[in-house]
Amino acid sequence: DGPMRRRLARLLLVLAATANGACSDGTLTAERASGLVAALEGFKREAHFTIHTGVPLRSAFTCMTQAEVQRAPLNQFAASQGWIRYEARVTNFGLGGTTECPAIALTAAGQAASATWTRGRVPSDDGVAWMVPIGRREFLGVRDLSEAPDGSMVVQFDWKWIPNDTGTALRKAVDDA
């Protein structure tokens, strides 16, 4: 595809401050805006999707069904890669009640692949949140600079998506990816 065009209405946290004082003459150039956009953590951060393992998949009052879990496109993708399997986990409901809910576990292939993933915790559970990287943005350049009525700067810039191997496979496998 051609470069993805995105308009960032206001780079409020960085560009307004830059235009008002960080540049020696108080102006924001396309070159300086390029450096600021490319340096933003939100722009540089690698995109990912998350696999939650070891956690009963449920709402506050009921378990998800195995079919509901398996229908989720990202779960279908992870299963098609051989990374996950489904298992039952006992969970507590109400006052002393327990039941089994579906849960996701990594297969041997998933454990091997997880060497390139980021491991996190699932809030209030014993599970693991695996962040699976799928790609990054590549900054192409500033298309336009203009001043907003409030004095901040509006920067329009071009970027393109650079998927990694997982991101490429995900895009082919999942319609909305």
User: To 5 degrees, how large is the angle CA 3–CA 11–CA 6?
Assistant: 20
pTM of the model: 0.74
Instruction: Write phi, then psi, for 162 (nearest 5 degrees).
Output: -120, 95
Residue 156: strand pairing partners:
7, 144
Mean pLDDT (whole number) for 68-79: 94
Whether 42 contacts 13, CB under 8 Å: no
So what's the pLDDT on residue 7? 38
Express each pLDDT in 35-63 by its tens digit.
Answer: 888 888 888 889 999 999 998 888 777 89
Q: Is 157 exposed, middle or buried (0-12, 13-18, 19+ CB in 10 A)?
A: buried
Measured CA to CA, the distance from residue 45 to residue 136 in angstroms comes to 7
Express each pLDDT in 114-172 by its tens digit.
Answer: 999 999 987 766 789 999 999 999 999 999 998 889 888 889 999 999 999 999 999 99
| Mean of the per-residue pLDDT values of the chain | 83
For residue 26, the number of C-alpha atoms closer than 13 Å in the C-beta half-sphere is 3
